[in-house]
Amino acid sequence: MVSITEKAMRAIFIFCGLAIILFLVGILYILLSNSMPGLIELGLGPFFAADRWNPGAYGEPTYSLLNMIYGTLKVTLGALIFAVPVGVSAAAYLAEIASPWEREFFKPIVEVLAGVPSVVLGFFGLVVLAPLIARVFNLNSGLTAFNGAILVGIMALPTIITLAEDAITAVPKEYRHASLALGGTRWQTIWKITIPAAFSGITASAMLGMGRAIGETMTVLMVTGNMVARPESFLDSVRTLSAGIAIDIGDVVFNSTHFHALFVAGLLLFLITFAVNLLADILIQRKPEVSK
């Protein structure tokens, strides 16, 4: 005999699980349904045309996302160039070399860094890092892709460190023991055995860091200057997709072409991060094993 409470509670919990899937599907649906009118009105072409994002232009507004895509790429790549080597090295140290007290000391620091709000990091970039960069490179303004890349790299670091450490720790002890028993040093064991064995997990950590970097909004909004022109170098001002949405979201007219174009940008951003996260998810499942 199953009571009504019993049945009701089961139904509630199943609903909670289902709701999570529904939310994800709902986000995709809302993005699609709101960007469709824009895509139907303009077609896909204007969003990738070789002009600029200028929806407010009198007479002939243009909606090209191309320069913002370049901006996102520039900031993300710059961030990863710095964050992946540092993050993986830190993870290798934490997982393989650090003494217990070192781990106790450094791990909370990584977590606190992960918790720093992006707007605070953006503020720091704006008032400290930007003037410094302007002085070092002799620029008029330090609000550049370079500045954004450093700060977004800092944001991605904790993700990369935590997940890469998990991946390295998950390598079975047998791998290390075999290497050490054959006369390998610890250094050789780390670089030739453990890290290659954890490679798919480490790649996944880099990809999730990349996902964060692509989607990061407030920091880049505050520190990259937000020029819609095509960036030539790392020392140019750029506007990323996420920042582009954030700038316009406040005063866009509901259901205008501009409104729908913003959702096209959002959809693009969602699809890119979704693909990156999915790929990372698949990589994370591939763990090294020992047959016993």
Partner 1 sequence: MKTEALSRGIVLEKKKSEWRSYELVGFWALRLTLVLVLLILGVIVFDIVSKGAGVINWEFLTQPPRVGMTEGGIFPAIVGTFYVTMITIAFAVPLGVGAAIYLNEYAVQGKFTRLVRMSVRNLAGVPSIVFGLFGMAIFVKIFGFGPSLIAAGFTLGLLTLPVTVTASEEALRTVPKAYREGSFALGATRWQVVRTVVLPRAIPGILTGTILGLARAAGETAPILATGAAFFLPHLPDSIRSQFMALPYHLFIMSTQHHAISQVRPIAYGTALVLLALVCLLNLAAVLLRKRYRDRVAKGL
CB of 50 to partner 1, least distance (A): 25
User: Cβ closer to partner 1: 255 or 290?
Assistant: 255
CB of 37 to partner 1, least distance (A): 12
Contact criterion met (CB below 8 Å) for 220 and 152: yes
The whole-angstrom separation of Cα 148 and Cα 139 is 15
Residue in 249, 251, 229, 247 with CA at minimum distance from that of residue 238:
229
User: Cβ closer to partner 1: 6 or 290?
Assistant: 6
User: Cβ closer to partner 1: 206 or 208?
Assistant: 208
Tokens, residue 110: 């990584």
Contact criterion met (CB below 8 Å) for 168 and 92: yes
User: Cβ closer to partner 1: 27 or 66?
Assistant: 27
Beta bridge partners, 238, equal: 225
User: Cβ closer to partner 1: 59 or 115?
Assistant: 115
CB of 233 to partner 1, least distance (A): 24
Tokens, residue 55: 């929806």
CB of 87 to partner 1, least distance (A): 8
CB of 184 to partner 1, least distance (A): 10
